[in-house]
Amino acid sequence: MKKKTIRNLSITALALIAVVILSITLRNGDCLEGPYYATFMSLVPPVIAIGLALMTKEVYSSLFVGVVTGALFAADFNPVKAMDHIVSDGLIAAVSGTAGIFAFLVILGAIVVLLNRAGGSRAFGEWAQSHVKTRIGAILATFALGVLIFVDDYFNCLTVGSVMRPVTDTHKISRSKLAYVIDATAAPICMIAPVSSWAAAVTKYVGEENGIFAFIRAIPYNFYSLLTITFVIAITLMGFDYGKMAGVEFKALNGDLGAAEGKEEESEQKHHARARVMDLILPIGVLIVSCIAALLYVGGFFTPGKYQWSLTGAFGATDATVALPWGSLIALIVIMSYLIARKLITFKASMEAIPKGFVAMVPAILILTFATALKNTTSLLGSDVFVKNLLENAGALKMFLPAIVFMIACFLAFATGTSWGTFGILIPIVQAGIGLDSELGIIAMSACLAGAVCGDHCSPISDTTIMASAGAQCNHVEHVATQLPYAMTVATVSFVSYVIAGVLQSVGIYWWVSLPVAIVLMIGTLFVMRWMQNGKKGDFTDKGGHTGAENLPKEA
């Protein structure tokens, strides 16, 4: 363990030393934008952060090195200006810009602690254990719950994780597999749900009048989101895993679930014997209803004005960073009152749950802060301008434009760790360059949304990926490493599907052909991969629903 720690510290120190040396040797004087503005160098800081995170398996220092690098580039290696960028434009802006999400996370953490201490999670786990008999059933139940909670990806990740963790633990499903299923039903589901915070964000970028209509038209072409759903169902029913996930699942079958260190305190506490399944379902229902009502209220649904009694208009005008703290705070008060009235928890214990929930969310909040600071410093370097120039230069390849947009969106979201920022950059470009009145424009817009979700899904600095790790309580870097092969498989099939869709629309054939073709390609790819894996490792199917990972050697 000491050797590993020394190695990680050495790599981080060398990266910092290299940045300092560059700041001394490459300083070019004062410049408003700097020589690195809107160049490939604008994407180097997130690439450094991602590379360090994968090498050292330590996220905090890796993100900080990325922030420092981005700040030095933006300041043209002026140390004083760089420090100002790190503190003012990076950390302070990150905290102030995401304060609403931080409040939501803390409140949600407190609710999770309350339900655990009151025994609601235990009661549901016992009920699920008596009804969910196989590993396949446990994974599909997790998937179904993730589909039902479609309002917001943060809410989805933390709620599904806290509810389904006892069930998947019982069936010896690794925390990494749980994190993948959570991640696969968070952003992808929100991205195809017209009533969600993601749909609201998209409509803002498209325009007030036709935003929700364009979003709905784009759903059948959102291949990455739809194929991710297909992938999770197919690979679960086929009963096999591949890549690093197979090795992790093998360890889980032998008792090592891969839980993150220091996050099991609540499971050790005594739960109330009177708790029932309803003591979990009712609070979650209150949370969902209050969050939806808050989203509508903030969007103007209940107040006189343009969007009064307009469901689509209110969701298009809402602000999730304001609405979710609203809804979660109301839910916390109601849930706390309900549990105290049921005599499942005392008032003193309910108050203790608030700081306990905050402590549970500290790692996620820290990573979100550093990741947002990295995004801010990257924006100072004009990464959006660089990507815009790339997209405009690719405009001549009209038929293949959706596939090109998908690749650019994937790369930008992966490098910056933000899907909202990605489609915020690219949608106006697509709208101005192609227009959304044509089928090609709708496909290109959907490719932008799908690519943003894909890059966000793969990136270790993505907030949704971080939340999935927090919800499953697994090691964040391991979640990224095990999820990446799965996400890349779906991304490859999605890219081919966008090429096909672009060709078909040129001859007047639209989604009712390209979508079934994409689904067939996805399922066919999985059958080919299972056939190839069977040839190397033996039969990876199991009638009892067990993963094929038990056929792997222990060092896998």
- The pLDDT tens digits of the residues spanning 249-282 come to 888 888 777 776 544 444 434 455 678 888 888 8
Quick check: is 44 in a domain? Answer: yes
Residue 479 maps to a domain: no
Co-location of 11 and 79 in the same domain: yes
Counting the structural domains of the chain, the total is 2
Neighbours of 385 (CB within 10 A): 16
Q: Which of 345, 368, 391 is the last residue of a domain?
A: 368
Torsion of CA 227, 495, 398, 43, to 10 degrees: 110
| 352 and 298 housed in the same domain | yes
Instruction: Output DSSP code: residue 418.
Output: -
Contacts of 218 (CB under 8 A, 6+ apart): 442, 443, 445, 446, 449
Residue 314 in any domain: the answer is yes
Whether residues 89 and 121 fall in one domain: no
Confidence of residue 335 (pLDDT cuts 50, 70, 90): very high
107 and 74 within one domain: no
Name 474's bridge partners: 259
Q: Do 224 and 450 form a contact (C-beta atoms < 8 A)? A: yes
For position 497, what pLDDT does the model report? 93
Is 434 within a domain?
Answer: no
> Which tokens is 359 given?
């402590």
Read off the pLDDT of each residue in 368-380 and give the average, rounded to a whole number. Answer: 77
Assess whether 67 and 139 both reside in one domain: no
HSE (CB half, 13 Å, CA atoms) of 486?
30
Using the 3D structure, point to which of 76, 97, 118 is the last residue of a domain.
97
In a domain, 105, yes or no: yes
Could you tell me if 173 and 283 lie in one domain?
yes
Query: Domain range for residue 3?
Result: 1-97
- 19 pLDDT more than 60: no
Q: Which of these three, 368, 400, 423, is where a domain ends?
A: 368
Question: Do 73 and 168 sit in the same domain of this protein?
Answer: no
Within-domain flag for 496: no
Q: Do 15 and 110 fall within a single domain?
A: no
Ranked by mean pLDDT, which of 306-320, 348-362, 381-395 comes out on top? 348-362
d(C-alpha 550, C-alpha 252), whole Å: 9
Answer yes or no: is 533 within a domain. no
Q: What are 259's strand-pairing partners?
A: 474
Q: Work out the pLDDT band at 204, boundaries 50, 70, 90.
A: low
Mean pLDDT of 145-169: 76
Mark whether 108 and 90 lie in a shared domain: no
Domain identity same for 68 and 137: no
In a domain, 168, yes or no: yes
Do 92 and 105 have their domain in common?
A: no
In this structure, the answer to whether residues 284 and 152 fall within a common structural domain is yes
Whether the pLDDT of residue 545 is over 60: the answer is no
Does the pLDDT at position 555 exceed 50?
A: no
